[in-house]
Amino acid sequence: MTQTDVPPATDDVPGQATDDGPTPATGPQPDPGTPVVEMRDISITFGAVAALSGVSLRLFPGEVHALMGENGAGKSTLIKALTGVYTIDSGTILVGGREQDFATPAAAQGAGISTVYQEVNLVPNLTVAENMMLGREPRRFGMIDHRAMNRQAAATLERLGLDVAPGSVLGDHPIAVQQLVAIARAVDVEARVLILDEPTSSLDSDEVAKLFEVMRRLREAGVAIVFVSHFLDQVYEISDRMTILRNGRLVEERMVAGTTQLELVQRMIGRDLEVLDQLDREPASAAPTRGTPLLTAVGLGRKGSLEATDLELYDGEVIGVAGLLGSGRTELARLLFGADSADTGSVEVRASRRRLRSPRHAIDRKIAFSSEDRKGEGVIADLTVADNMLLALQASRGWLRPIPQATRTRLVADYIEALDIRPADPNALMRHLSGGNQQKVLLARWLVTEPDLLILDEPTRGIDIGAKTQIQALVADLAAKGMSVVFISAELEEVLRLSDRLVVMRDRRKIAERPNDGVSVSDVLEIIAGEARSEEETAHV
């Protein structure tokens, strides 16, 4: 990787991180200049929870700085402390060498600190351009100048290589595109510091490459970029320096070059990782029993979202759905579940002649769907972890038959443990959980219903490497016990690790289906690219 403006790489900051205390951030490395942001000894508590204890962070102009740590380590909280969302209990924040304590995110933005939060925070029923220019709309004679707004937004989108119509309604786009729009909005302002909290979790490799290009350009222009991601490969590709947090404490700051992934993971979790071995584990391929299919889709389709698709699914089988962003993965899931209604074809369960027409039907037939849109369809922020977790089970029993208290307690405790949900407190409010931990609760919500078929759309998005492995193992285990799974993920490695059979999507249709007998990531990419090529060829005849 070549870069010009970043501080020179040094050897590791010496010193071993132990649980006894953090390594001081200031090791004897050459002075990389004056930080544009310096946070010193920041502490924040929420009630009894110490979310941050004495954490420090330095950001230098022209660097990409990865903020690393497990789910709940304090990454988002540290960012919100900097941007005035949270008030700090103690510590000092220096911006451009001057002490600052932003009262509001707008104040931070005014000082050149621009943030894209973990959850898309835009307004779905406004247009793309309106979202991008929100709060700083160009005006003419006191009125919002829509034409200028669209023009300006279009220019930014084009600069970022994003093919999105400025006048289209934001909510009509998939989450990944909405995420890119949020990033476009953030980079459009004059920023000295750009904070990206898990910007890539819903993006495919093409979009990630696009984003990285933008980040490199901004870095060259001297912007300090904070990057949060649970994808270690991405962190290594783009970052220069990193700060590692664990349980709300600083472990250390160090250069990315010279740190192995294994070292990084050890420092993040504070112990050796048995799960890293599991990562190389063969998929649990208990050959699914054939017989009557659990589910049969015939000619299932919907105008504009999926061309007529056939699919059969057997008990205990994991079908992995691969395909790029916009290929129709989510659309297939929604049609299978009845969340969207089909224009053509039908879905039958256990060869029953009654067709699935709505989520209600699907749930009655023990089909569950964990949607990719956790903010829109999932998290109920003001309820507890236990209530969120039991919601689907309660709904399927009917609201007049409450789940017995002892069963509630046992189920919730079991899944808090199985998924390592933190805090391990059934009564914690959902809004107080970190992003990754909320995601685990949503997954548990469907697991507790013990479905025959579980449709998982991006279940491990935003989940740290340790917990991700746990979830994969859990899914494999349930499948071995007879549950069928449709597993959708932008991460091809994960799809390949888990599935018995592979469905590859492109341009809103199924282009291939095959047993997963040693299929590699590049095989899948070739299938997708091959299809693209053959389309070009046909286009030329």
Ligand X SMILES: Nc1ncnc2c1ncn2[C@@H]1O[C@H](COP(=O)(O)OP(=O)(O)OP(=O)(O)O)[C@@H](O)[C@H]1O
Contacting positions for ligand X (CB under 6 A): 46, 49, 51, 69, 71-77, 118, 422-423, 432-437, 464
Q: Which of the listed partners (ligand X, Mg ion, none) does 356 bind, with a CB threshold of 5 to 8 Å by partner kind?
A: none
End-to-end CA distance of the chain, in Å? 41
d(CA 273, CA 260): 14
Minimum CB distance to Mg ion, residue 422 (Å): 12
Question: Residue 84, interface with Mg ion (CB under 5 A)?
Answer: no
Element (H, E) at 531: helix 521-540
Minimum CB distance to Mg ion, residue 75 (Å): 5
Handedness of CA 258, 19, 243, 231 (dihedral sign): positive
Our CA angle for 509, 501, 177, nearest 5°, is: 45
Q: Residue 368: CB partners within 8 Å, gap ≥ 6?
A: 362, 392, 446, 449, 451, 453, 454, 455
Burial of 312 from C-beta contacts in 10 A (0-12 / 13-18 / 19+): middle
If the CB atoms of residues 51 and 318 are measured against ligand X, the closer one turns out to be: 51
d(CA 529, CA 506): 9
Minimum CB distance to ligand X, residue 429 (Å): 7
Q: Which of the listed partners (ligand X, Mg ion, none) does 73 bind, with a CB threshold of 5 to 8 Å by partner kind?
A: ligand X
If the CB atoms of residues 316 and 466 are measured against ligand X, the closer one turns out to be: 466
**Is the distance from CB of 274 to CB of 265 less than 8 angstroms?**
no
Contact segment (CB under 5 A) with Mg ion among 172-180, 315-323, 401-409, 428-436 equals 428-436
d(CA 434, CA 436): 6
Q: Which of the listed partners (Mg ion, ligand X, none) does 222 bind, with a CB threshold of 5 to 8 Å by partner kind?
A: none
- Residue of 391, 484, 472 lying closest to 430 (CA atoms): 391
If the CB atoms of residues 76 and 127 are measured against ligand X, the closer one turns out to be: 76
If the CB atoms of residues 426 and 462 are measured against Mg ion, the closer one turns out to be: 462
Task: Give me the DSSP letters along 194-233.
Answer: EEEESTTTT--HHHHHHHHHHHHHHHHTT-EEEEE-S-HH
If the CB atoms of residues 46 and 125 are measured against ligand X, the closer one turns out to be: 46
Q: Which of the listed partners (ligand X, Mg ion, none) does 51 bind, with a CB threshold of 5 to 8 Å by partner kind?
A: ligand X
Question: Residue 248, interface with Mg ion (CB under 5 A)?
Answer: no
Minimum CB distance to Mg ion, residue 438 (Å): 10
Minimum CB distance to ligand X, residue 95 (Å): 21
Task: Give me the DSSP letters along 320-341.
Answer: EEEE-TTSSHHHHHHHHHTSS-
d(CA 61, CA 192): 8
Q: Which of the listed partners (ligand X, Mg ion, none) does 74 bind, with a CB threshold of 5 to 8 Å by partner kind?
A: ligand X
Question: Residue 439, interface with Mg ion (CB under 5 A)?
Answer: no
Q: Which of residues 93-122 bind Mg ion (CB under 5 A)?
A: 118
Which residues partner with 169 through β-bridges?
A: 127
Residue nearest to Mg ion (CB): 76
If the CB atoms of residues 118 and 384 are measured against Mg ion, the closer one turns out to be: 118
**Is the distance from CB of 336 to CB of 297 less than 8 angstroms?**
yes
Q: Kindly tell me which residue out of 69, 248, 320, 435 binds Mg ion, with binding defined by CB under 5 A.
A: 435
Residue nearest to ligand X (CB): 436
Minimum CB distance to Mg ion, residue 71 (Å): 7
If the CB atoms of residues 188 and 464 are measured against ligand X, the closer one turns out to be: 464
Q: Kindly tell me which residue out of 23, 56, 76, 472 binds Mg ion, with binding defined by CB under 5 A.
A: 76
d(CA 85, CA 223): 22
If the CB atoms of residues 64 and 448 are measured against Mg ion, the closer one turns out to be: 64
**Is the distance from CB of 199 to CB of 230 less than 8 angstroms?**
no
Contact segment (CB under 5 A) with Mg ion among 71-79, 93-101, 127-135, 139-147 equals 71-79
Minimum CB distance to ligand X, residue 454 (Å): 22
Minimum CB distance to ligand X, residue 78 (Å): 7
Contact segment (CB under 5 A) with Mg ion among 68-76, 121-129, 329-337, 393-401 equals 68-76
Minimum CB distance to ligand X, residue 117 (Å): 10
The count of chain residues that interact with Mg ion, using the rule CB under 5 A, is 4
If the CB atoms of residues 212 and 231 are measured against ligand X, the closer one turns out to be: 231
Minimum CB distance to ligand X, residue 194 (Å): 17
**Longest Cα separation, the chain:** 73
- Residue of 254, 266, 272 lying closest to 14 (CA atoms): 254
Minimum CB distance to ligand X, residue 185 (Å): 21
Question: In 105-246, which ranges are continuous DSSP H helix?
Answer: 105-110, 128-133, 146-159, 175-188, 205-220, 232-238
If the CB atoms of residues 51 and 275 are measured against Mg ion, the closer one turns out to be: 51
d(CA 47, CA 44): 10
Q: Which of the listed partners (ligand X, Mg ion, none) does 331 bind, with a CB threshold of 5 to 8 Å by partner kind?
A: none
Q: For tokens 């009655």, name the residue.
A: 364
What residues line the site for Mg ion (CB under 5 A)?
Answer: 76, 118, 434-435
